[in-house]
């Protein structure tokens, strides 16, 4: 009897491990996602072009200050905005567009959830798109998942809504979101810079003065080294969709 009970228990354990209804969605290798032509980490190019990207805004204090810095250096960037903050600060997003920056989708609520269902994520993406369409009359080309999480469901949610997924170069996350000192942010970005990079920084989610100071230093150094700063669409080539 004990041996029978042990076999039953082992069978249950094995079934639970291999159950296809497991809450963790399937994840492919990066290469497989890149082959779809819809998922990007960086550009494969010999050109000295880089994309500065900023997540989690717009922020009422950080973002206008950042826009001032970018304007002073004549640099264009890509902003992955959160829908609820777009709704709160539409004038800041309009300024981004007026000054030649690209605006992209970073969900409506900015929920950290690697196991989010495809249906819930589609609602988040679509809600953010609706806000952008209603306030600044654009539909973004790119979506960036919160936390950089990617699974089949997360990728498929964006693709089904006809948006490409843009993450960032794995060597270009200086962890400014974690309170990294300005000098370390600068050193990380500059030391790892190479053509085609998509650099991850943040203008929302808290006090970003260290990031802002870092941007003031990163831009002139990399410009002196011959790098050009462009939007994500300029780096990766697709054309953004502007609505009437």
What is the model's pTM?
A: 0.87
Contact 151, 106 (CB under 8 A): no
| Residue 178 · residue 202 · CB < 8 Å | no
- Extents of the domains making up the chain: 37-236
Which residues face 79 on adjacent strands? Answer: 54, 103
Active site residue 55: yes
What is the DSSP code (8-state) at residue 121?
A: H
Compute the average pLDDT of residues 121-135. Answer: 98
Q: What percent of the chain has pLDDT over 90?
A: 82
Question: pLDDT by residue (tens digit) across 27-40?
Answer: 889 999 999 999 99
40-70 pLDDT, tens digit per residue, is 999 999 999 999 999 999 999 999 999 999 9
Catalytic residue among 101, 176, 202, 203: 202
Q: What is the CATH number of domain 37-236?
A: 3.20.20.370
pLDDT at residue 132 greater than cutoff 90? yes
25 pLDDT band, cuts 50/70/90, is low
Give yes or no: 202 in active site: yes
Residue among 122, 96, 90 at smallest CA distance from 108 = 122
Residue 98 has pLDDT above 90, yes or no: yes
Please check whether residue 201 is in contact with residue 59, taking contact to mean a CB–CB distance below 8 angstroms.
no
Q: What angle do CA 36, 41, 47 make, to 5 degrees?
A: 105
d(CA 177, CA 205): 8
Among candidate residues 22, 55, 106, 197, the one labeled active-site is 55
């Amino acid at each position: 009897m004990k041996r029978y009970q042990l076999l039953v228990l082992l069978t249950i354990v094995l079934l639970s491990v291999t159950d296809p209804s497991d809450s963790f969605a399937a994840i492919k290798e990066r290469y497989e996602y890149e082959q779809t032509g819809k998922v990007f980490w960086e550009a494969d190019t010999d050109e000295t072009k880089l994309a500065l990207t900023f997540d989690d805004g717009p922020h009422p204090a950080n973002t206008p200050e950042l826009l001032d810095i970018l304007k002073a250096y004549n640099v264009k960037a890509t902003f992955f905005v959160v829908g609820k903050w777009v709704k709160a600060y539409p004038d800041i997003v309009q300024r981004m567009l007026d000054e030649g920056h690209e605006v992209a989708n970073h969900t409506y609520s900015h929920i950290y959830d690697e196991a989010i269902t495809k249906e819930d994520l589609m609602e988040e993406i679509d809600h953010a798109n609706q806000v952008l369409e209603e306030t600044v009359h654009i539909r973004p080309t790119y979506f960036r998942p919160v936390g950089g999480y990617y699974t089949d469901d997360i990728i498929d949610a964006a693709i089904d809504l006809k948006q490409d997924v843009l993450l960032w170069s794995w060597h270009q996350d200086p962890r400014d979101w974690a309170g990294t000192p300005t000098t370390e942010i600068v050193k990380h970005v500059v030391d790892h810079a190479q053509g085609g990079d998509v650099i991850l920084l943040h203008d929302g989610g808290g006090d970003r003065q260290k990031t802002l100071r870092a941007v003031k230093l990163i831009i002139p150094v990399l410009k002196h080294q011959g790098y050009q700063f462009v939007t994500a669409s300029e780096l990766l080539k697709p054309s953004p969709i502007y609505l009437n």
